[in-house]
Structures are given as structure tokens and as C-alpha cells.
Structure 1
Amino acid sequence: MSGFSTRAVHGPVGGPAGDPHGSLRPPVYDTVSFAFASAEDIAAAFAGRKAAHSYSRITNPTVAEFEARVQTLAGGRGVIALASGMAAITTAIMALAGAGTNIVAARSLFGNTTSLLAHTLAPWGLETRFVEMSDPEAVAAAIDDRTRAVFCESITNPQLEVTDIAALAALTRERGVPLIVDNTATTFYLCRAGELGADIEIISGTKYLSGGGSSVSGLIIDHGSFPWARSPRLAEFAQGFGPFAFMVALRREVSRNIGACLAPHNAYLQTLGLETLALRVEKSCRNALELARFLQSQPAARAVNYPGLAEHPCHRLAERQFAGRYGGILTFELEDRESCFACLNRLRLIKRATNINDNKTLAIHPASTIFTEFSPAERQAMGVGEGMIRISTGIEDLADLQEDLAQAIGSK
């Protein structure tokens, strides 16, 4: 059983036994704790000598089923599911870094990720060095003996810059630091981040995985490629658990103590979303490419930005890295903020809403929303101008989306 969609629907071979009632859906274990036959059994579970669910903040059967489904699709040594994509990023970084150390991160990132690194973690003593990931010399110069990870996105949101993961992985491997790739915008369906060299893959399941904006989740995938004995924060765990040090550190310390656990019902919804992931990604990508071409024909729409366009500076890299599909996000420019607001307010079908990779097509003005906490100069440096509109394409009929955009930007 090797096909992606077959595995997404049926789960891992040799997985949990069938439901005693014949249910085709995994049960939802909406419970906090689990009973044990004896005091010795529960003591063994807490000590890690016995594999068992004891408390849903740590593990839960429904969440474990979701994690197993993701692992069979994404590969890797281990998967942990958390309450959100931001929880996944925070937890991964806290497992690797601490006060007096640094993270080298892409200058172009999702606004909340930049805020986390620059504003939330900085007061705790973690330095973030923002660099252009397309400049290997700049990345190499930023790494020193206090660097604990390099962090990037497979495709940045909303700048739509594509990171050459394989080239970056060769550099980080040489320098002995793990590479973390946020693969939310393409997922492990379009972009095989682990095969390209990512040591840790982050996914916000809130997006494509959820199956239409139904639930929030985040995933950390350890691809088993980094020798954790080389990570100062995990050296002690590596002595006892070897290649599983990162996953054990998350389960037994960082994730457990932070408490950003995924709710069982959300895990259930995410598992259902996985079943149709390939279908929805394919339709979303087709709609995005055709909408980008359509917007190029509209006089009012300027600087249409989508990696699927042949003239995009990252087109060839995206074609190679994402197997000929280019994601479901595109941007275009209007004259100014006022023009963007007027366009958004005229939309009839497309929803004015944050989030990406919903089944519905969504539109937003990034500068006034997800990047609003940054100054105009900071936004400009991050490639987020006042005239930018971001479109996240859904799975509606293309003609209806084209008609709505045409009337909204005033060309119909």
C-alpha cells in the first residue's frame, strides 16, 4: 500500500486493530485520564517503562491515531501533534535553544512567527538572527557555536519566496545545526521536506490538513537525520535515547510542561481532513495558477506574484521542489491601502478572512492584519507593502472566482 491517498484514507499498515463495532472512523477519546489495573502499572507508565496513555495533556489515543496517520504520509522518526502551528514552532525551538543561544531565521516569515522570535522569545534571552535564506554566505556567516537551529519556510507567506531546502540543508549539515522547515503552505503532499534535507518539519494543520478550516492544530515531525548528541540542549537525552532524543524530550519535558496539547476532537477532525488532502491541494493549486494568470490580464492588478508563473524568480526551483504544483496562495498589488480596502469590500463570493488553504477562497490585506504590529518600515523590509492583497484559493469553480475578482478590482 504505497499511494499517498490510499495511505491517507486507510492509515498505516499494521496500525491499531479494527474497532470492535466495525466503525470506519477512529473513536474520539474525549477524556482527561485513563484507569490502570494497579498502582504498579501506573507507576510504570509514568516512569516510561510501559507504553500507555495516562493523561491527555501528554498523550491520547485519538491524537496518537492522527500522529500515526501523519507519520505514514510524511515519513520521519516521530510525530507530535499540538494545539496549533505556533505551539509547534514554540515547542520545537524551546526543545533546542535557550538563553544565551541563537536561532538563524529567514527574514521573510509569517507575521506571527516573526513576532514570536523577535518579541516573545527575545526577552527570555534567545537571539534571532534574521537573514536572506537565498544568500548562502549570509546564512553561513550568521551561524556560530551558539546557534541551535536554522529556521525557514518552504514558501514564505505572503512574500511567496521559495527556499532551496536541499541547498540550505547541505549548509546546515556542514555546520552541524538542525534545519527546521515550516512546510505549512505546501505540506508533505507537495514538498517532501525530509527527503530534501529538513531535520525537523513544522506543519500548521489548521490550514490544508483540517479539511476546510474546521479545527486548529500543529505538527512537529522529526525526520531522523540529525545526530541529537550534537545538540547541547539534548545531549543528555541522546545518551539515554539516542536517535529518539528529540521526540523523548518533547514528550517527557517540553511539550508536557508547556501543555499546548491537541484536543482529541480536533485530532479526529484533522484525521478526517487527511483523507481528502491530495484532492483539495490539487484543486487549490490549479485555481491559484489560473487566477494568477487571470489577474495578469486585469489592468488594475499590478505585480501579480505566484511561483507558478514562468516569470517568477523562484519558478524553476518551485517546479523542481514542489513536483510541478505551486501552492494555493497568490498576491497582487493595487495602488494603495484605500484601493485594497475598496476591492475587499466589493467581494461577493470570496470571503474577507484570515487563514490560508481553507476550502473557501479567502482574501486579506496583510499590512493591516497579520503584520499590523510592525511599523511601515519593518513591513517594507519584510516585503509587505500597503498595496498588497493576499488570496488563498479554495476549491470553488474557477469561473465564479474570476467573476468575483473582476468586479471587485473594478474591471467588470
Structure 2
Amino acid sequence: MEKSFTTRSLNIPFPKDDPHRALDMPIYESIAFDFASSEDIAANFRGELPAHVYSRTSNPTLEYFERKMKTLTGAHQALAVASGMAAITNTILSLCKTGDNIIAGNHLFGHTFALFSESLTNYGLQTRFVDTTKPEAVEALIDANTRLIYFETVTNPQLEIADIEALVALANKYHLVLMIDSTITPPVVLNSKKLGVHVEVMSTTKFISGGATSFGGVILDNGLYDWSNNPNTAAFAAKFGPDAFISKLRKNYYRNTGASMTAHTAHYQIMGLDMLELRVERCYNNCMVLGEFLQKHPKVVKVTYPGLPGTPGYELAVKQFSGKPGTVMTFDLESQEACFKFMNQLGIIRRATNLNDNKSLIIHPYSTIYIEFPEEERLAVGIRPSMMRLSVGIEGAADLMADIEQALAKI
């Protein structure tokens, strides 16, 4: 019988034995690393002697975090980076070039949408946005220059869920990379490799950091894609075989754009992995209690959380995430004015923009995260003036419910 996520996380061995038999991986803050001889350092630079040289390219503490991510997810390779956005950007740059196109979900995190629709277009990379819950619509956009299909496992804040296996089948049919952002559904609830996903990225700032302790991101190669099929990785595939993608990242974009995670951040993320299962379970239970409470409240117009039976996406949440599609929900009041009045009365739930903190956080996406988008674009992607996003934390469920109840009573 397979051991629990927490047990496995706590018992992953260090890459090398610690001379002092420390229980926790030491934080290697050193920038550079010494070699025993001139011959050794020369051999390392020729690629013949694996060793840490300079912490922007590799570091012992990062190596252990990457080992934990790789072991816990079953991935073939893992690469830790400075943020979730760095994970997305580095992956896209490694797999695409000018003249290529990618197909992406039309309901994306605001900054990801801006990256695809603004930043990358300046370099001749086209993004074709589509409803990824409709595989036939995705297939209609594929052509000879398409390199990958990208979507979020649960969209933020629309909370829509695409059929991962259907999109995997489509990507395999056309020899494309299937890339997902699993930030809202951490590895405790999602095993992307079992579903056939090729590349998984996530913001480890969220759940994995242990509760907003540090910025971070990770790129996982599940070892399921033949990198010779992508013209932008074919040369690396000839030399590095199944390690082509991560090798290209390490030798090019990751190294040359300075996207590395710090050793101190890696330490926080290592500790966060050990507590991840406990936090997710607590947040999910709170989410269910609050969702059921809000559904019955007369002042609440609409509640969206795909963990609730009868909510759109519930069946796929059960199939893909064991019924635990993250711990973010949205709910609507009668107007933006009502939302602001409600939020201003909250005492325990904080007004802040983050997800999966230990603290419960609420935000009004229409007036904040998406404020730079024209009104018609906000409405087109389901960002309503009457909607709030609630990231549910680990406080007592009864305390959170009481906080919401007293705030609703004052509007």
C-alpha cells in the first residue's frame, strides 16, 4: 500500500548525506562552490562532472526541493524557478519561437492572459484563445505551426474545469505538448502524470510555500512527450533524449534569464510540502462548510465552487481531483456596492490578492485584478461587478461563517 503524501514527503532522502545528520535540509546560501582541482572545474564546464558551481544555475537546497517535487508527483524532471509566471514564461520560450502559435484557454489568470496577449506577441508568438472545455473548438485551431495547448486545471476566478484526458488525447493526436497550470489543484489532489499531461507548471507561492511564505514556481516534465516531435527541442532530443526539455531550460532560458529560486525560498517550499496535505484538507473542509452556508443565505445571489454537488464542473472535479478542486470559491451579491460594504465589515477574512494563504482572503476581481481590462473584456470572461473571490484558509470554519454572517447582516 502506498504511503500517504505527508509520510512520503517527510522521508525523501537528501541528495547527499549530511555530515551532521541534520533532520532538515540545510540552507546553502553560498553563491559559488569550490572544486578540489582545476581539472574538476574544467570537467564540470565541459559537462562531464555534475556539481554545483553557481547558485543562479543550481544549488543544493534547490536540488532537494526539486527532488521532493519530482518524487511526490512522479515527474521525470523538475525545475524550480522564481515564480509561477517565471515557470510559464520559461516553458513557453523553450518550446516556441517566432512564427509559432499556442492554443490557450480563454479564461486565464489576468497576468497570464496579459503575457500571452501582449508580451509574447511582441516577439512574433501568436496565442489563439479558446474555450478549452470544448475539445472540438480547440482542435479547429490547430495548424502546422501550433506547438502546445495550455490551460489552467481550474480557471481563476471563473472556476471552470476542462476534461484533461480529452485534451491529452487531442494533443497526442497532433504531437503537441499538453501544458497545464495546476496552481489551484496541488499534487495532493492532482496526479497530472496519471492523466497523461506532458508538462505541468504551478505557482508554488500558493499552497506549496506553506501559506504565502515565499515566491516560487516549478516546472514538471512528466516524461510522456517525445521531444523530437517539437522542432524547437529536436536538437536537444538528439543529444539528451528524454531530458531534452529540462536540459534546454537549464542551458538556455532558465540560466540566461535569471529565473532561479533562492536557497532560502527553497527552504520554505520544502517545509511547505511537508504540511501541504494537512493544509489542503483543512481548507477544503472549510470551503465545503462555507459553500453550503452561502448557498442557503438569502442575500447571496450565486455561489460557484465545483466541489459542491450540482455546481458546473463537479463531475470532472470528482474524476480529476478526487472531488477537491482547490479551495477557492466565488459568490455574488446584488451589486458592486453591496460587495464593497460586505467586504468592509469583515474582521477575520482579509482583503488581499493571493490564493491558498493560511489566512482566508477575499477580493473583488472586477475592480482590482482585471481593472486594466476594458469593461466588455471583463464581462466577456465572466468577471462581474457583483462577484467576489474567496480563498479559504485554515481558520475555524465556525469563525469564518460567523464573520461572513455578521458582515452580510450589515448590508
Q: TM-score, normalization: structure 2?
A: 0.98
CA distance in 2, matches of 1:209, 1:111: 21
- Are 1:95 and 2:88 counterparts? no
Instruction: Map 1:117-156 to 2 at 5 A.
Output: 117-156=116-155
CA distance in 1, matches of 2:92, 2:15: 31
- Are 1:259 and 2:286 counterparts? no
Instruction: Map 1:77-226 to 2 at 5 A.
Output: 77-226=76-225
After superposition, the C-alpha distances for 1:26-71 in whole angstroms (9 at most, x for unaligned) are 1001011111122221122122211100111100000000000111
Q: Please tell me the residue identity of whatever aligns with 1:287.
A: N
After superposition, the C-alpha distances for 1:361-393 in whole angstroms (9 at most, x for unaligned) are 100111122212211111111111111100000
After superposition, the C-alpha distances for 1:155-205 in whole angstroms (9 at most, x for unaligned) are 111100012111110111001100001011011110111211110001110
Q: CA deviation at 1:22?
A: 2.6
For residue 220 of structure 1, give the secondary structure of its aligned residue in structure 2.
strand
For residue 265 of structure 1, give the secondary structure of its aligned residue in structure 2.
helix
After superposition, the C-alpha distances for 1:99-123 in whole angstroms (9 at most, x for unaligned) are 1111100011111110111111111
Contact kept in structure 1, 2:154 and 2:325, CA below 8 Å: no
Contact kept in structure 2, 1:298 and 1:411, CA below 8 Å: no
1:7 alignment partner in structure 2: 8
Runs of 5+ in structure 2 lacking a partner?
none
Q: Please tell me the residue identity of whatever aligns with 1:245.
A: A
- Are 1:294 and 2:267 counterparts? no
2:327 alignment partner in structure 1: 328
- Are 1:400 and 2:406 counterparts? no
Q: CA deviation at 1:134?
A: 1.0
CA distance in 2, matches of 1:281, 1:290: 14
CA distance in 2, matches of 1:3, 1:341: 42
Q: Please tell me the residue identity of whatever aligns with 2:367.
A: S
2:390 alignment partner in structure 1: 391
Contact kept in structure 1, 2:15 and 2:63, CA below 8 Å: no
For residue 193 of structure 2, give the secondary structure of its aligned residue in structure 1.
helix
1:305 alignment partner in structure 2: 304
Q: CA deviation at 1:326?
A: 2.7
CA distance in 2, matches of 1:282, 1:18: 33
1:54 alignment partner in structure 2: 53
For residue 121 of structure 1, give the secondary structure of its aligned residue in structure 2.
helix
For residue 188 of structure 2, give the secondary structure of its aligned residue in structure 1.
helix
Q: Please tell me the residue identity of whatever aligns with 2:195.
A: L
CA distance in 2, matches of 1:360, 1:35: 42
CA distance in 2, matches of 1:110, 1:169: 21
For residue 195 of structure 1, give the secondary structure of its aligned residue in structure 2.
coil
CA distance in 1, matches of 2:45, 2:380: 49
CA distance in 2, matches of 1:49, 1:373: 50
Q: Please tell me the residue identity of whatever aligns with 2:120.
A: L
Instruction: Map 1:21-32 to 2 at 5 A.
Output: 21-32=20-31
* Misfit runs of 4+, over 6 Å: none
Instruction: Map 1:240-259 to 2 at 5 A.
Output: 240-259=239-258
Contact kept in structure 2, 1:211 and 1:272, CA below 8 Å: yes
For residue 303 of structure 2, give the secondary structure of its aligned residue in structure 1.
strand
Q: Please tell me the residue identity of whatever aligns with 1:89.
A: I
2:233 alignment partner in structure 1: 234
For residue 233 of structure 1, give the secondary structure of its aligned residue in structure 2.
coil
1:356 alignment partner in structure 2: 355
Contact kept in structure 1, 2:345 and 2:410, CA below 8 Å: no
Q: CA deviation at 1:19?
A: 2.2
For residue 402 of structure 1, give the secondary structure of its aligned residue in structure 2.
helix
Contact kept in structure 1, 2:104 and 2:149, CA below 8 Å: yes
Q: Please tell me the residue identity of whatever aligns with 1:65.
A: Y
Q: CA deviation at 1:411?
A: 6.5
CA distance in 2, matches of 1:46, 1:369: 47
For residue 92 of structure 2, give the secondary structure of its aligned residue in structure 1.
helix
Runs of 5+ in structure 1 lacking a partner?
none
- Are 1:76 and 2:60 counterparts? no
For residue 233 of structure 2, give the secondary structure of its aligned residue in structure 1.
helix
After superposition, the C-alpha distances for 1:268-313 in whole angstroms (9 at most, x for unaligned) are 0100000010010011111111111111111111110000121112
Contact kept in structure 2, 1:153 and 1:182, CA below 8 Å: yes
CA distance in 1, matches of 2:301, 2:89: 36
CA distance in 1, matches of 2:97, 2:87: 16
For residue 389 of structure 1, give the secondary structure of its aligned residue in structure 2.
strand
Contact kept in structure 2, 1:299 and 1:411, CA below 8 Å: no
Question: Which has the higher mean CA deviation after the structures are superposed, 398-407 or 336-345?
Answer: 336-345
Give identity over the alignment, percent: 46
Q: CA deviation at 1:336?
A: 2.2
CA distance in 2, matches of 1:257, 1:53: 17
CA distance in 2, matches of 1:368, 1:245: 43
Q: CA deviation at 1:397?
A: 0.5
Change (3 A) 1:411 1:344: closer
Q: Please tell me the residue identity of whatever aligns with 1:60.
A: N
Contact kept in structure 2, 1:288 and 1:327, CA below 8 Å: no
Q: Please tell me the residue identity of whatever aligns with 2:200.
A: E
- Superposition RMSD in Å: 1.2
Contact kept in structure 1, 2:201 and 2:218, CA below 8 Å: yes
For residue 127 of structure 2, give the secondary structure of its aligned residue in structure 1.
strand
